[in-house]
């Protein structure tokens, strides 16, 4: 998941910034590391070693004051609006605010302590109001509109035209043309939503900070030794020495459900994980979701859209919810049919065991592994010893070198926010500095679950030749001292996926930061990352980087089994994901209809014919993609849309000289990874591929009928 940044501008209409106010901001900057320009090597780096939670609020107040002054100066310009004095002026504004917000985002996702959560609760509505101040600034929008509509747009470069269009449409979609009363109500909604988003995230995090403690090693029967050792270390870290902790995160839950032979404990772990945010207690999210949906529906109406889904999808590749639904529905039926086949295979094995087991959701992964063993003689426990986290990281670096010419070298002396974080300098093939890559791989209290990419600093050539700083974040369970972290094949794919987002940011080569890196349509941003997953399974990676602790590469016989089983369990993987995507879209197509989240989820899945043996990948009360921000709301379909592109794009390599074909890689770099949002994503894809993508490659890749 790519976490796209805060809208770069926020200003206030009619606010006069006094010199005294600016002096106060200046005095704060002298003592507040968040307000200082980043200094040190690599064009400056965040001063993580100096930042404290109490710095955030005064830093935001000072940065907002500074940005208000910048916008006030821009709108007071007596000269006729032009690209240089308006659009370029907006690109220059808010630099301090952007730096503060980016560090704030890092704290929110990786260091969310109780004192920081209190700051979030206070600041989130204020930040939403601040963003609305810009969107509702009538003189500012008048200048943007004048540039957008002027007859001399022919004098602008294609990138300048695109930037002007992005600003103009962004302001219109945010309510710039509404009357004063409607603008005021819109801002009230956005502020309330910001508070609800923060509370939703904090509720899920509270449940994720828990663990299921097991008292005896025999409770982990069936688990690999590496997992047992890590579970013991986690229990010790949590004050339960001598016990074993199954941490309430996906990277800990999934292996347990896959291998643990104790069915009752699988059920316990499953229920603990999939009931996050749904306990009817102080951290329950159902009422919050109901209010979020109600406010989103009202906001959409104020903005002139039928539903929140129509507003969100309008500026994506799909353009309409109907097109997104059509794609999902075309895949849903064959995926469900495949699930029924998978369940039948599993039930056969369960019946043979004679324990009276009827496959339930907490059995699916466990019996799927038995089927995999029976059909393909493939046991994932055979694979795991060859999937060392650090060796796979080296494999990712190899792929980046082959496709992009990037070289990675770990560096020291760069401040980090947490001791587990490592920093790598990235150089191009000629040895020139490209950027920095921060790696934060381990789960811990206060860190949200899952995996994601952050962009600390965006590439640009506008305000100097500024290089990128990105991070990849995961939640692997740290191994016992001296032991390697072994991960699953699924986690290895996720690792490559998130690295694809990082390469998208590092490859950026545009002029204006608003158009740079991953600042693209939501259903396009997942395309580069999903495409990169394919390189994990290439012989060049597996033969060199999939090695065990003795340095022995994964055996060819095991690789052959992996290839034969490549489409195994695709029914489960597709339905688990699509159920979440369909519920997300249907929730937001419901408009103003009052929603009981649990009932809506249950009734919608029943109507869809959801197999009873599977649950949504992200149940509604814990669906952070959708309810911790507007980010992926009515947009979780994006992964399938992007996978349509990635499956088709992969065939461009397989039809040419193979995965590392230089000519295809160059087209991919030039038209996709480096282009940012300087061109329409549909045009960018055609420029790379020579045609639009169809669904044939997607269906074939998943083993579904292609007719």
Active site residues: 498
Angle between helix axes 638-654 and 321-353 (nearest 10 degrees) is 80
- What would the two tokens of residue 671 be? 């038209």
Residue pair 628/622 in contact (Cβ under 8 Å)? The answer is no
Q: If you write DSSP's letter for every residue of 460-498 in order, what string do you get?
A: BSSSS-BPEEEEEEEEEPPPSTT-PPB--HHHHHHHHHH
Residue pair 706/700 in contact (Cβ under 8 Å)? The answer is yes
Q: What is the 3-state secondary structure (H, E, C) of 667-682?
A: HHHHHHHCCCCCCCHH
Distance between CA atoms of residues 261 and 184, nearest Å: 58
Residue 419, class by beta-carbon neighbours within 10 Å (0-12 exposed, 13-18 middle, 19+ buried)? Answer: exposed
Query: What's phi and psi for 319, nearest 5 deg?
Result: 75, -40
Distance between CA atoms of residues 219 and 18, nearest Å: 67
Closest CA to 599 of 588, 589, 609, 587: 587
**For the chain, how many helices (H) and strands (E)?**
28, 8
Distance between CA atoms of residues 93 and 97, nearest Å: 9
Distance between CA atoms of residues 144 and 91, nearest Å: 12
Residue pair 437/424 in contact (Cβ under 8 Å)? The answer is yes
Q: Which residues of 350-379 are buried (b: 16+ CB within 10 A; e: fewer)?
A: beeeeeebebebbbbbbbbbbbbeeebebe
Distance between CA atoms of residues 388 and 390, nearest Å: 6
Half-sphere exposure of 704 toward its Cβ, with a 13 Å CA cutoff?
23
Closest CA to 690 of 664, 660, 658: 664
The residues, any chain, with a CB within 8 Å of residue 148's CB and separated by 6 or more, are 164, 165, 167, 168
Locus of tokens 């060796």: 391
Query: What's phi and psi for 609, nearest 5 deg?
Result: 80, 35
C-beta atoms surrounding 279 within 10 Å: 14
Locus of tokens 């032009």: 82
> What one-character DSSP code corresponds to residue 635?
-
- What would the two tokens of residue 350 be? 């369960």
Is residue 169 within a helix (H) or strand (E), and if so which, with residue range? helix 158-173
Q: Could you tell me where the DSSP H helices lie in 244-320?
A: 250-259, 263-274, 286-302, 308-313
Distance between CA atoms of residues 280 and 278, nearest Å: 6
Pairing mode, if any, of strands 433-442 and 468-476? Answer: parallel
Strand partners, 440: 473
């Amino acid at each position: 998941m790519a976490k796209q940044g805060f809208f770069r501008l926020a200003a206030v209409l009619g606010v006069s910034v006094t010199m005294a106010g600016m002096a106060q901001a200046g005095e704060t900057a002298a003592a507040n590391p968040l307000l200082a320009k980043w200094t040190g090597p690599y064009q400056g780096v965040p001063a993580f070693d100096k930042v404290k939670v109490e710095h955030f609020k005064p830093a935001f107040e000072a940065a907002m004051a500074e940005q208000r002054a910048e916008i006030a100066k821009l709108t007071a310009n007596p000269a006729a609006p032009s690209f240089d004095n308006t659009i370029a002026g907006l690109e220059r504004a808010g630099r301090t605010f952007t730096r503060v917000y980016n560090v704030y985002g890092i704290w929110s996702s990786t260091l969310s302590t109780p004192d920081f959560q209190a700051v979030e609760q206070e600041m989130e509505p204020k930040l939403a109001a601040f963003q609305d101040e810009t969107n509702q600034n009538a003189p500012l929008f008048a200048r943007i509109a004048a540039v957008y509509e002027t007859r001399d747009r022919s004098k602008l470069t294609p990138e300048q035209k695109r930037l002007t269009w992005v600003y103009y449409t962004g302001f219109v979609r945010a309510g710039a043309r509404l009357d004063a009363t409607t603008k005021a109500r819109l801002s009230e909604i956005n502020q309330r939503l910001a508070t609800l988003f923060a509370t939703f995230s904090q509720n899920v995090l509270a449940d994720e900070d828990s663990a299921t403690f097991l008292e005896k090693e025999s409770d982990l029967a069936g688990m690999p030794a590496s997992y047992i050792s890590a579970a013991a270390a986690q229990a010790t870290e949590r004050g339960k020495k001598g016990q074993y902790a199954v941490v309430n995160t996906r990277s800990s839950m999934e292996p347990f459900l896959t291998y643990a032979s104790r069915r009752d404990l699988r059920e316990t772990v499953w229920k603990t994980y999939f009931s996050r945010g749904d306990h009817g207690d102080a951290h329950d999210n159902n009422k919050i979701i109901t209010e979020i949906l109600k406010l989103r529906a009202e906001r959409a109406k104020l903005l002139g859209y039928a539903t929140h889904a129509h507003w969100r999808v309008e500026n994506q590749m799909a353009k309409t919810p109907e097109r997104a639904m059509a794609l999902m529905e075309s895949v849903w039926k064959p995926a469900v049919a495949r699930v029924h086949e998978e369940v039948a295979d599993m039930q056969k094995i369960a019946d043979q065991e004679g324990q009276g087991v009827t496959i339930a959701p907490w059995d699916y992964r466990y019996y799927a592994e038995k089927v995999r063993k029976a059909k393909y003689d493939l046991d994932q426990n055979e694979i795991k010893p060859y999937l060392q986290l650090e060796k796979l990281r080296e494999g990712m670096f190899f792929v980046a070198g082959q496709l992009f010419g990037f070289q990675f070298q770990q560096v020291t002396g760069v401040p980090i926010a947490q001791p587990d974080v490592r920093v790598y300098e990235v150089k191009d093939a000629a040895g020139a500095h490209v950027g920095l890559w921060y790696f934060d791989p381990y789960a811990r209290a206060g860190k949200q679950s899952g995996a994601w990419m952050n962009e600390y600093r965006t590439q640009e050539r506008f305000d100097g030749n500024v290089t990128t700083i990105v991070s990849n974040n995961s939640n692997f369970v740290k191994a016992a001292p001296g032991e390697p972290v072994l991960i699953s094949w699924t986690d290895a794919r996720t690792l490559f996926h998130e690295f694809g987002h990082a390469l998208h940011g590092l490859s950026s080569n545009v002029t204006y930061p608003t158009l740079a890196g991953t600042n693209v349509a939501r259903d396009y941003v997942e395309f580069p990352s999903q495409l990169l997953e394919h390189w994990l399974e290439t012989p060049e990676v597996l033969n060199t980087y999939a090695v065990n602790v003795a340095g022995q590469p994964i055996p060819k016989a095991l690789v052959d089994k992996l290839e034969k089983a490549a489409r195994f369990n695709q029914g489960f993987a597709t339905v688990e994901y699509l159920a979440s995507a369909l519920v997300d879209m249907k929730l937001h197509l419901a408009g103003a209809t009052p929603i009981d989240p649990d009932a809506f989820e249950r009734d919608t899945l029943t109507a869809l014919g959801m197999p009873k043996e599977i649950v949504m990948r992200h149940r509604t009360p814990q669906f952070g993609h959708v309810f911790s921000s507007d980010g992926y709301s009515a947009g979780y379909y994006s992964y399938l849309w992007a996978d349509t592109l990635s499956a088709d794009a992969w065939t461009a390599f397989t039809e040419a000289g193979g995965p590392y074909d230089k000519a295809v890689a160059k087209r991919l770099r030039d038209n996709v990874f480096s282009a940012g949002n300087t061109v329409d994503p549909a045009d960018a894809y055609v420029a790379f591929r020579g045609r639009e993508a169809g669904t044939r490659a997607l269906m074939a890749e998943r083993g579904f009928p292609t007719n």
